[in-house]
Amino acid sequence: MATVEVLTSEVVVPAEETPAGAVWLSNLDLAARRGYTPTVYFYRTNGKPEFFEADAVKDSLARALVAFYPLAGRLGLDPTGRVQIDCTGEGAVFVTARSDYVLDDLLNEFVPCNEMRDLFVPPTPAPHPPCALLFAQPTSSRRGPASPAGTTTAATRRPTAAPVPPCFDHHLLSARPTTARAVAFDHPEYKPEPEPAAHAVANGSTYARTLITLTKAQVSALKSRCAGASTFRAVTALVWQCACRARSLPPDAETRLYSMIDMRARLAPPLPPGYFGNAVVRTSALATVGEVVANSVGYAARRALAATSQGDDYARSLVDYLEGVDAMNLPRSGISRAHLRAISWMGMSLHDSDFGWGAPVFMGPALMYYSGFVYVMQAPAKEGAVALALSLEPESMPEFRKGVRRRDDPSRLAVDATSTSKLLVSCNLFVIVWLRG
């Protein structure tokens, strides 16, 4: 395995004075997993000598931190012990590194594992106050004319349109007054799982991972069998089916498809376009394994649709429910072997993050956390294609791959032979790797 050598480590502060004070965090913020989300972006240099020039990118990061000043702050606590963001202006951690890898070798070798994360993700502290909120590690190749790079969407190129100003008013998601609160829905996704059945023991720390690419034609064929379903719902419905088959669970076993819904546009009134905070809620669809496996993929998609169609009433019910529990210490362990947790990154323009030198050839998550996790993302540089980052129990993965390779049914996922077992994932931590290929 090639190595990565850290060259520099420093703190980049905002280019101008920024507001002080604290950002209050909503119950949805507190209910989210506390920690860094490692994300890797791979770029090809294309022979450009100015590629990700270090000083230019650090200057860009410093200017971006003016508008997004909470990211230059630290996690803090208010007088009652509630987590908040202290806007201290201390800055973001910026690490530069150099690798022995070339791009094509790395794409063939990379899987989301601790070893690769340790190579390409900068070390981070425990996510407890006070800790920095943003880390970045641009990594270049020894074998090419590359320079250190940066990590924010405010890159050195000029924007083609005025950016939407960020909104940090998380009070827009406050619980309602006591007399108006109404927990009108059950919210099992925020409660401890019941004791799993013997055939569905809780996941351990060991899991297999893979990356699957669906072409535009395959996505269209799948959606045609899931009338009215979004790409995310259609894809996760089929993955749910294949996982249930691969796990060889009894037909009467209960299986739950966990998901997340972005509530920004579903609230009444909707949140501002630049709302900068957690506005997603956990939902789930429950069925028996027999129902998921024996019916068409459209059936599973309809179950997923029913679990991801909630609006303002559901979100307000959840915020009110979280007001009555310890939202900072909700259960956050893995899930039962019978279940699947699907996260959509389809609505986030991560796959085309262009800092002025072109879009990445790959982006994705550097860690999967536990078995039964799937990310659904737009595939970089492949119009209309979808990439899946998936983790399953080691004993289930071979059968899952067999299932998705079946080509007799055009709705089935066909594994891109060039992508199997390759997965990039890194932190609020952004990791940028540019390598000569």
Q: Quick one: 265 and 330 in the same domain? A: yes
CATH number for the domain spanning 96: value is: 3.30.559.10
Domain assignment of residue 433, yes or no: no
Q: What is the pLDDT of residue 382?
A: 78
Residues 168, 183, single domain; the answer is: no
Identify whether residues 220 and 83 lie together within a single domain. no
Single-letter amino acid, residue 117: R
- Are residues 211 and 335 both part of a single domain? yes
Closest CA to 153 of 86, 54, 65, 85: 65
On whether the CB atoms of residues 201 and 362 are closer than 8 A, the answer is no
Residue with tokens 């009433």: 313
Same domain, 153 and 233: no
pLDDT at residue number 138: 87
Domain count, the chain: 2
204 in a domain, yes or no?
A: yes
Residues 93 and 183 in one domain: no
Q: Where are the strands (E) in 192-302, listed by range?
A: 208-214, 254-262, 280-288
> Which distant-in-sequence residues (6+ apart) come within 8 Å of 159 by Cβ?
none
Residue 16 resides in a domain: yes
- H-helix or E-strand containing 6? strand 4-12
- CB neighbour burial string for 258-273, b if at least 16 within 10 angstroms, e if fewer: bbbbbbeebbeeebee
- Together in a domain, 156 and 248: no
Using CB atoms within 10 Å of the CB of residue 127, give its burial: 0 to 12 exposed, 13 to 18 middle, 19+ buried. Answer: middle
Query: pLDDT by residue for the chain (437 residues), tens digit each?
Result: 678 889 999 999 999 999 999 999 999 999 988 888 888 888 888 777 677 777 888 888 999 999 999 999 999 999 999 999 999 999 999 998 888 887 888 777 777 777 778 888 888 889 999 999 999 888 887 654 333 333 532 233 344 456 789 999 999 999 999 878 889 898 989 987 766 565 665 555 688 888 888 999 999 999 999 988 899 999 999 999 999 999 999 999 999 999 988 999 999 999 999 999 999 999 999 999 999 999 999 999 999 888 788 889 999 999 999 999 888 888 776 788 899 999 998 877 766 777 777 888 888 888 888 889 999 988 877 788 998 889 999 999 988 888 766 633 444 444 333 333 322 222 345 555 544 33
430 within some domain: no
Chosen domain end from 114, 146, 173: 173
Residue 432 located in a structural domain: no
236 & 364 share domain? yes
How many H-runs (helices) and E-runs (strands) does the chain carry? 10, 15
Looking at the fold, whether 18 and 124 belong to one and the same domain comes out as yes
- With CA atoms as reference, report the closest residue to 213 among 107, 293, 297, 138: 107
Same domain, 132 and 203: no
Please, are residues 136 and 150 in contact by the beta-carbon 8 Å criterion? yes
Q: Are residues 222 and 153 in the same domain?
A: no
Domain's final residue, options 125, 154, 173:
173
Choose the final residue of a domain: 120, 143, 173: 173
Does a structural domain hold residue 98? yes
Residues 188 and 322 in one domain: yes
Q: What angle do CA 403, 259, 334 make, to 5 degrees?
A: 80
Say which residues have a Cβ less than 8 Å from residue 157's Cβ, sequence separation at least 6.
354, 355, 356
Is 63 part of a structural domain of the chain? Answer: yes
Inter-residue contact 137 to 12 (CB < 8 Å)? no
Q: Is residue 359 part of a domain?
A: yes
Domain span including residue 245: 179-422
- Note whether 128 and 75 are within 8 A (CB): yes
